């Protein structure tokens, strides 16, 4: 018959172990988050260089490469460009919308005085890129593409904020993503 269990001082209770593991996972994610911001910036620079080089035709060919995704009898046959723009970006904006909704309901955006700066920044993030685009494309057939820079700026803002990390105040970060430092506890 085994001896009965007797707690000792060097045994760590299970809830503390789980908390430590959760905190370690969050810490690993914060490092990955910064790395993803760096990857976004590097990919954007590489894409700009490639698209404006003598090999720009290969850049166009890359984005028009057909990709097949199959799951059993279901399959999608589309270009890489379509999968990124209409697939991954849809998921990205869904996550952004969910984070904003959470902040409006329970976070910093639920307080009018705390919401002014992020909402002003969001409005500027739509109007300024659209305005710059329209200035350069005024009267041209391409002027109808004004929405493209307004949609891509949030992805780059999140990438830059990931690189800056905790060096900026929480209320500046709140509109782009929800983080523990940007939420306000209700007392």
Per-residue pLDDT of 70-88, as tens digits, reads 888 999 899 999 998 888 8
Would you give the distance in Å from CA 152 to the centre of its chain? 11
Total domains in the fold of the chain: 1
Domain assignment present for 40: yes
Q: Look up the domain containing 113 and give its range.
A: 18-173
Domain assignment present for 178: no
Domain assignment present for 110: yes
Domain assignment present for 11: no
Collapsing DSSP to helix, strand or coil, 52 comes out as coil
Domain assignment present for 187: no
Mean pLDDT of the chain: 78
Domain assignment present for 41: yes
Domain assignment present for 184: no
What are the phi and psi torsion angles at 179 (to 5°)? -135, 160
- SS3 for 72-115 is CCEEEEEEHHHHHHHHHHHHHHHHHHHHHHHHHHHCHHHCHHHH
Q: What is the pLDDT of residue 147?
A: 86
Q: What CATH number is attached to the domain comprising 76?
A: 1.20.1530.10
Domain assignment present for 83: yes
Q: What's the whole-number mean pLDDT along residues 90-118?
A: 82
Look at the pTM and tell me if it is higher than 0.75: no
């Amino acid at each position: 018959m085994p001896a009965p269990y007797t707690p000792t001082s060097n045994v760590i209770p299970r809830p503390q172990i789980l908390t430590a593991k959760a905190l370690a996972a969050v810490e690993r994610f914060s490092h990955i988050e910064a790395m993803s911001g760096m990857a976004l910036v590097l990919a954007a620079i590489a894409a700009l260089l490639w698209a404006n080089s003598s090999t720009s035709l290969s850049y166009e060919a890359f984005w028009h490469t057909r990709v097949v995704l199959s799951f059993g009898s279901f399959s999608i046959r589309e270009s890489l460009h379509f999968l990124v723009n209409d697939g991954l970006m849809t998921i990205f904006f869904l996550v952004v919308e969910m984070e904003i909704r959470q902040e409006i309901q329970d976070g910093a955006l639920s307080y009018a005085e705390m919401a002014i700066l992020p909402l002003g920044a969001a409005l500027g993030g739509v109007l300024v890129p659209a305005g710059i685009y329209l200035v350069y494309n005024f009267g041209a057939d391409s002027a109808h593409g004004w929405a493209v820079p307004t949609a891509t700026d949030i992805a780059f803002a999140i990438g830059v904020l990931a690189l800056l990390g905790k060096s900026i105040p929480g209320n500046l970060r709140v509109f782009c993503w929800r983080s523990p430092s940007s939420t306000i506890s209700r007392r």
